[in-house]
Chain A
């Protein structure tokens, strides 16, 4: 059974054969997600992901694995946006494993601060109360 899956966004990596190998592997997995690579000054590569299509669960898993494999080669952590069937939408962290928690947290904080402005005062109070009772929350260290 096929599902709709798309990946969009940009990742900057060091320019080396391993990265190009991963990109070729991705292109071989699916032509629905287009990947453009551009050499930047200094030899780094900018990879642009766009588009999506129907693909099997196995291919989606392989695509995710290949994207994650770019992690160690990224110049700085980045996030790609994925869309699974128009229902599950989120971000794929692409970066070094040791920077993962901090980068995801920073990204989440950026998103939260943008959303806080949309809260009504009573909902802002609810959020505040929830945050100051740490027992109700799980926070990564």
Chain B
């Protein structure tokens, strides 16, 4: 079964000839896997003498594809993690369900993911009624208890 999958976003890429080659290979694989309507464009940093500026990869478009194909694409995008300037994300829509693919070195990506989630939760929590706020506090309390149990 096919799903409608879209990608959107920009990732800053470190400068360097070796980085350029590696990113170029990843982007080529990505575009082969995604088809013509969903693509990534790698803009290499403009060379200044022997130095290079940072580049970027822009993701855009959408296509119908299998869920296996989506997993493959996500995996290829994450391979950019070691080459990005800073942890970032690419927004996706998977059959209208939206989310973000976090890209960056593993540890830093987890931190970025957490910070971004916290920011989203803060914005969303203003919409909660007091009853639902209590549900959330209860959930956080339960999670804290579970964490402490695991520590013991």
Residues of A within 8 A of B (CB): 8-9, 50, 81, 86, 89, 101-102, 104-109, 111-113, 115-116, 118-121, 123-128, 130-132, 137-141
Q: How near does chain B come to A42, taking the closest CB pair, in angstroms?
A: 25
- Chain A minimum-CB-distance residue to B128: A105
Other-chain residue from B93, B98, B131, B144 in contact with A128 (beta carbon distance below 8 A): B144
Tell me whether B98 and A118 are in contact (CB under 8 A): no
- B37, CB-defined interface residue at 8 Å: no
The total number of A-B Cβ pairs within 8 Å is 96
Q: A108-B124, A109-B136, A115-B120 are in contact. Are A140 and B129 (CB under 8 A)?
A: yes
> What separation, in Å, do the CA atoms of A132 and B137 have in the docked complex?
8
Q: Which residues of A contact B131 (CB under 8 A)?
A: 105
Q: How near does chain A come to B127, taking the closest CB pair, in angstroms?
A: 4
Q: Which residues of A contact B147 (CB under 8 A)?
A: 121
Q: Which residues of B contact A102 (CB under 8 A)?
A: 129
- B110, CB-defined interface residue at 8 Å: yes
> What separation, in Å, do the CA atoms of A8 and B98 have in the docked complex?
11
Tell me whether B96 and A81 are in contact (CB under 8 A): yes
Other-chain residue from A50, A123, A130, A138 in contact with B117 (beta carbon distance below 8 A): A123
> What separation, in Å, do the CA atoms of A107 and B137 have in the docked complex?
16
Q: Which residues of B contact A89 (CB under 8 A)?
A: 98
